[in-house]
Structure 1
Amino acid sequence: MFTILKGGNVFAPPDLGIKDVVIAGRQISNIAPDISPDWQYGETQVVDVTDMSVVPGFIDQHVHLLGGGGEDGFATRTPEVVLTDITQAGTTTVVGCLGTDGITRHMAGLLAKARSLDEEGVTTYLYTGAYEVPPPTLTGNVRTDLVLIDKIIGCGEVAISDHRSSQPSKEELARLAAEARVGGLLSGKAGILHLHIGAGPRQLNVLFELIAETEIPISQFVPTHINRNWELILEGIKLANKGGVIDFTAADPADQGNETITAAQAILFCLKQGVPIEQLTISSDGHGSLPVFDGNGGVSGIKESKLTCLYEEVKQLVLAGLSLGEAIKPVTINPARVLKLTPTKGTIAIGSDADIVVIDKLLNIRHVFAKGRWLVRDGQAIVKGTFE
């Protein structure tokens, strides 16, 4: 089956202008003006995307596929992700992780969940570990997990500067980062250490110390939740000025207007400070919990984070004046580069995976293709998970 997306403005993310895009199986086979069906193609469907934008499928590098939470007891464990949670957000690649709870959620279950979503239609990867150090693994070792388990591309989310962390020492984090780096080198993967940054006063202090005192390159560390407060954003800018990448967490539109700093606001601020957009990424923390703690450390409220918030932040960047090609970089080519998924992910190019999102004039998601398969049509999921 061949599919031709006809007449759309293609952002690869660079603006390629009005082009037709040919999907052959799981890949993009051609990009050119005015491509017509040919008998040699065999069965072909033509999708008119005139006056729409054609962009790469989004990469969400921080998703709790098994659910997260549990900070206020068993009833506050958030539910598992289902296929349409991902696809209706315009996301075609996810990286699954464990969080606070590495006990009732575990690596074997996370791997099984990732494989099931992959079979249902999207691309999945994993971090080995959870908040705590030493981290839970499949083989007993971070390095071995990276080398032997195909889907594992890094270690995380390891918590620092947070009362829920295991309070790891600098030496423990250095050893963990080294294990992830060498495992990545041996397996040809990113081998990053994905760090949950809490609201504690130590902020990124230990990360700056690791960069200054060890030989581990700054590219191995990816701190997330950097838009937690303005002080942490300023610390993130210091890291970016040293060549690091910082990850912002997408905010629920319902929270905008209170004290929440959205990823879009944080990115616009960073750009004004001279940080290149190539060093900025956004992830959803999808199906993780958003607990509110009182002054005594008790939980006063809790919500579930949503994968759809990822694209909402992109929309806000466009509405603030960024071109669509620039606005999508933090959810396409930037995470693809950080996670070492290029050249098949994060771009629209001949030979890349046919992960494509079509956006209409009102910035609504109209169509989603993942691995060449049409999963969302006219804003509605036409393919659902096995038990949806």
Structure 2
Amino acid sequence: MYLISGAECFDPSPRGQVDVLVAGGQVIAIVEPGTLNVDAEQIDARGKILVPGLVDALTHPCGGGGEGGFGNRTAEIDVETFVRAGVSAPVGALGTDSIGRSLDVLYGNVMGMRTQGLNAFMLSGAYRVPAPSLTGDIARDIYLVAPVVGVGEVAIADHRGTQPTAQELRRLAAETQLGGILGGEGGTVLVHVGAGDSRLALLREAIEGSDLAPSVLYPTHVNRSTALLDEAADWALRGGFVDITVSTTKELIAAGDITAEQALRRLLEAGAPAEKITMSSDAGGSLPVYVDGELVGLTAASPGSLSDLLRALFADHADLFPLALAAMTRNPASALRLNAAGEIREGTRADLLLLDPAHGVDSLMCGGNWLLRHGEYLN
């Protein structure tokens, strides 16, 4: 049992200072400071911020890239990297390469993360349509294979995708949703949106005239351009979720990428409901490195981009902090229909993150167990 006291709590909504009692892997009580007298280890969290463990809706734990050949593949991401980033619930996916990297390998990677304490999930499928699967059937994957909660990232508006039709995307969404309905969790198609001029047109065409809700198709990388971001605001107003990619580079920003902070503000100013906006790191995805305008290599996106953004917002843009935090916790859990992630509530799994306003991630608890204490990795 642990009694965490003295922290400023966001559940992810602001709660002020509260005491949080954890036992048996769950949050047992959230009370006014000093009102509990229990035989538990006392955690003095004064000066810290207590938030839910981060839900990173798009990561590539097996590595990403590969579009330029075998030499352009990024490395696998280990558990410690996610833990030090404050991510308790990474959602793993393949990407462009579902040949050199398979769903079997991704499954093993995700199950390994679960064994080491993380509340990890995965997506079946990849860029390609028809989508590859573990069992030969997308709905069966989601219904029967525990860590699988959806399909993705399926590529549209991108020359690297297989150019699916609206009917193909609609059928995939229906199969994915069915798996989630039967399994009681998951059932969303995460959609990679490339730089093509069609942007979200295929999503609109797939939903129009169907019985599907927009929320079953979940576009990511929507801050790739202002035009795409404006279409994303409309998608959110229709009831869909939209995902901002936090990891970027100065070269990508110069080419049109919008920073996560600016993208969040623009979506809100366009009327997009805050609860429909999410943020992910695209961890393991390949990012270009240029020297004097020449491509000299690739680096990998980091899950730490999420907690880095939170610390910066808390310091300089406090109005955005709770909105960005919800976009990294409650909202992606809702978008992916995850039952045990994204909030601090009585009776829920104890995935808790302590942030130091000056230094970032201080401690991370997953399922009631400390994986990181005061910067020391405990696994």
Match of 1:262 in 2: 259
Measured after TM superposition, the shift of residue 182 of structure 1 is 1.3
Measured after TM superposition, the shift of residue 256 of structure 1 is 8.5
Tell me: CA distance 1:252–1:198, structure 2 relative to 1, closer, same or farther (3 Å).
closer
2:129 corresponds, among 127, 133, 140, to 133
2:186 corresponds, among 182, 190, 193, to 190
Name the amino acid aligned to 1:339: L
The count of aligned residue pairs is 373
Measured after TM superposition, the shift of residue 313 of structure 1 is 2.7
Q: Are the equivalent residues in 2 in contact too, given 1:262–1:313 (CA < 8 A)?
A: no
Instruction: Determine the C-alpha separation between the residues in 2 that align with 1:166 and 1:291.
Output: 23
Alignment pair present for 1:232 and 2:239: no
Name the amino acid aligned to 1:34: G
1:55 corresponds, among 33, 51, 55, to 51
Measured after TM superposition, the shift of residue 36 of structure 1 is 5.2
Alignment pair present for 1:29 and 2:28: yes
Match of 2:279 in 1: 282
Instruction: Determine the C-alpha separation between the residues in 2 that align with 1:276 and 1:330.
Output: 11
Deviations 1:273-304 (A, max 9, x none): 222211100011101113589xxxx9875331
Q: Are the equivalent residues in 2 in contact too, given 1:12–1:325 (CA < 8 A)?
A: no
Match of 2:18 in 1: 19
Tell me: CA distance 1:127–1:7, structure 2 relative to 1, closer, same or farther (3 Å).
same
Measured after TM superposition, the shift of residue 123 of structure 1 is 0.7
Instruction: Determine the C-alpha separation between the residues in 1 that align with 2:86 and 2:93.
Output: 20
Q: Are the equivalent residues in 1 in contact too, given 2:150–2:176 (CA < 8 A)?
A: yes
Measured after TM superposition, the shift of residue 148 of structure 1 is 1.3
What stretches of structure 2 of length at least 5 have no aligned partner?
A: none
What is the correspondence of 1:335-354 to structure 2 with a 5 Å cutoff? 335-342=332-339, 344-354=340-350
What percent identity do the matched residue pairs reach? 36
What is the correspondence of 1:33-112 to structure 2 with a 5 Å cutoff? 33-35=33-35, 38=38, 41=39, 44-112=40-108
**3-state SS of the aligned residue for 1:155?**
strand
Measured after TM superposition, the shift of residue 237 of structure 1 is 1.1
Name the amino acid aligned to 1:127: L
Alignment pair present for 1:3 and 2:20: no
Alignment pair present for 1:322 and 2:319: yes
Match of 1:113 in 2: 109
Q: Are the equivalent residues in 1 in contact too, given 2:214–2:239 (CA < 8 A)?
A: yes
Deviations 1:39-71 (A, max 9, x none): xx4xx3211111221111100011111111111
Instruction: Determine the C-alpha separation between the residues in 2 that align with 1:233 and 1:292.
Output: 25
After TM superposition, the score normalised by the length of structure 2 is 0.93
After TM superposition, the score normalised by the length of structure 1 is 0.91
Q: Are the equivalent residues in 1 in contact too, given 2:233–2:271 (CA < 8 A)?
A: no
2:356 corresponds, among 360, 370, 377, to 360
Measured after TM superposition, the shift of residue 83 of structure 1 is 0.7
Measured after TM superposition, the shift of residue 201 of structure 1 is 1.0
Instruction: Determine the C-alpha separation between the residues in 1 that align with 2:338 and 2:42.
Output: 29
Name the amino acid aligned to 1:128: S
2:208 corresponds, among 212, 216, 235, to 212
Instruction: Determine the C-alpha separation between the residues in 1 that align with 2:204 and 2:247.
Output: 27
Match of 1:386 in 2: none
CA RMSD, Structure 1 to Structure 2 (Å): 2.1
Deviations 1:14-39 (A, max 9, x none): 2222111111131111111215553x
Tell me: CA distance 1:299–1:193, structure 2 relative to 1, closer, same or farther (3 Å).
farther
What stretches of structure 1 of length at least 5 have no aligned partner?
A: 384-388
Match of 2:151 in 1: 155
**3-state SS of the aligned residue for 2:341?**
coil
Measured after TM superposition, the shift of residue 240 of structure 1 is 1.3
